[in-house]
Structure 1
Amino acid sequence: MHGRELWSAAQVADHLGLASAASARRTLSRWGVQAAGYERSGGGRPEARYDAEQVRQAAQQRPGRGARTDLKP
């Protein structure tokens, strides 16, 4: 395979355990992950594709549930 692995918002949601593609898009926006490109969906509308490696890295760097982000080690 040449190039990077690109995921749809639905694939991102599945990887992150989110309820929907819309939740994945909101989460990625909050994390600063931008679409790497667009492809036509089955209905002909452009659908964002996200770099899988960027998604994985952003997910690893997020704080855990209830993590105190105001405290510095």
Structure 2
Amino acid sequence: MPDPTNEELWLIGRVMEHLDVRTRSGARTFLRRAGIQTVDYVTGPTGRPEARYQADAVRDAAAMRPGRGARTDLNRDA
């Protein structure tokens, strides 16, 4: 198990940048569908809690998603 003190954690804004997604809800939808769980929460500048996510998990899930216009219906393994 990796040392939690050394793991890179991203806020939703950084996840949005990496995924090239324009909205927070779009990034959260991606995280939910990819099964990426929140690691912890920190207090943001407005005083509200902000979730943090494992950067490695986000990178790995982003690498697995199909490209723009990909015909995913042609890749049936059945």
TM-score by length of 1: 0.84
1:23 to 26, 45, 52: 26
Q: Secondary structure of 2:25's partner?
A: helix
**Is 1:13 aligned to residue 16 of structure 2?**
yes
Paired residues, number: 72
After superposition, the CA RMSD in angstroms is: 1.9
| Match in the other structure for 1:45 | 48
Q: List alignment gaps of at least 5 residues for structure 2.
A: none
Q: Return the letter of the residue paired with 1:67.
A: T
In 2, Cα distance between the equivalents of 1:70 and 1:55? 23
CA contact (8 A) 1:35 1:49 kept: yes
TM-score normalized by the length of structure 2: 0.80
Unaligned runs of 5+ in 1: none
Fraction of identical pairs, as percent: 39
